[in-house]
Amino acid sequence: MLHIGQFEISRVIESEGPFLPVQDFIPDAEQAVIDANRDWLYPRYIEPGTDKIMLTIQSYILRTPRHTILVDTCVGNDKPRPGRPMFDQLNLPYLADLAAAGVQPEEVDFVLCTHLHVDHVGWNTKLVNGRWVPTFPNAKYIFARKEYEFWEQRHLDGSEGPVPNVYDDSVLPVMEAGQAVLVDMDHQIDDGMWFEPAPGHTAGNVVLNLQSQGHNAVMCGDVMHHPLQLVRPEWSSRACEDPAMSTATRRAFIERHADTDTLIAPAHFASPTMGHIISRGDAFGYRHIDV
């Protein structure tokens, strides 16, 4: 657990380990650049021998003096994902691990999704008697309106892509239960806690800013998938909807937060995940915090 002023941040990990070879996930990645940064990328962030990126899929637990908040909800169990075999019909102890971290589903006040991709919305719902129902019965689920409308339209016109079930089983049931709240991309959730637009990865992608007692943190979702993108911000992942805009957003984010005391909390960096962006020669690198 880590403190940002009055806020407590911890993690619940759904899965972590080798995912895909670097160039399969970051198509523009150049081997020469990877090799030049081997001293800090291997073995924590890239698996030696296979050259697969190390990827963590996780939720952040954010406790304030008033609320318990869950940020992004991973892939989920029992979800049909034939377009992504690594996510298909999972059966993982996420809820037990959440309980071990001190949180029961009934205790969650808000669920915040930085965007609505498959690995950020899965535990929004669970399967009960053949129906998808909200996993967190007392929570308000906060979605950026622009992001929701983008995926709603994709769902309606059948253009969701290789993972077509996500809206139907992980977003729509929350709407139908009356637990969703659609907000602007700069919405303030609570004192010292607000969304900021970060488009490119998806149309309505947001980051979550935290500020308390002179301390700052940013939960940056998929603005960056991997520390290699600190070396080359122009290398977008294959999951980015608009690579050019994703690049612009990522570069601005890196330049804004590099060499500051702002804690960075990415969605997918290998454990221990959280840390600081640092200058490294004529590019940037990452200094993780062991928590």
Q: For the domain that residue 13 is a member of, what is the CATH number?
A: 3.60.15.10
What pLDDT is recorded for position 291?
A: 74
Tens digit of pLDDT for each residue in 259-278? 999 999 999 999 999 999 99
Q: Which domain holds residue 109?
A: 2-288
Residue 171: strand, helix, or coil:
coil
pLDDT above 70 as % of the chain: 100
pLDDT above 90 as % of the chain: 96
Element at 244 (helix H, strand E) = helix 243-257
Tens digit of pLDDT for each residue in 44-55? 999 999 999 999
Largest interatomic CA distance in the chain: 56
Listed residue (260, 281, 225, 211) closest to 55, CA to CA: 225
How confident is the model over 124-152, as a mean pLDDT? Answer: 98
> If 0-12 CB within 10 Å is exposed, 13-18 middle and 19+ buried, where does residue 269 land?
buried
Tens digit of pLDDT for each residue in 213-249? 999 999 999 999 999 999 999 999 999 999 999 999 9
- What's the number of domains the chain is made of? 1
* Peptide bond connecting 137 to the previous residue in cis, omega within 30 degrees of 0: no
Q: Give CA–CA dist 229/216, Å, rounded.
A: 22
How confident is the model over 87-114, as a mean pLDDT? Answer: 98
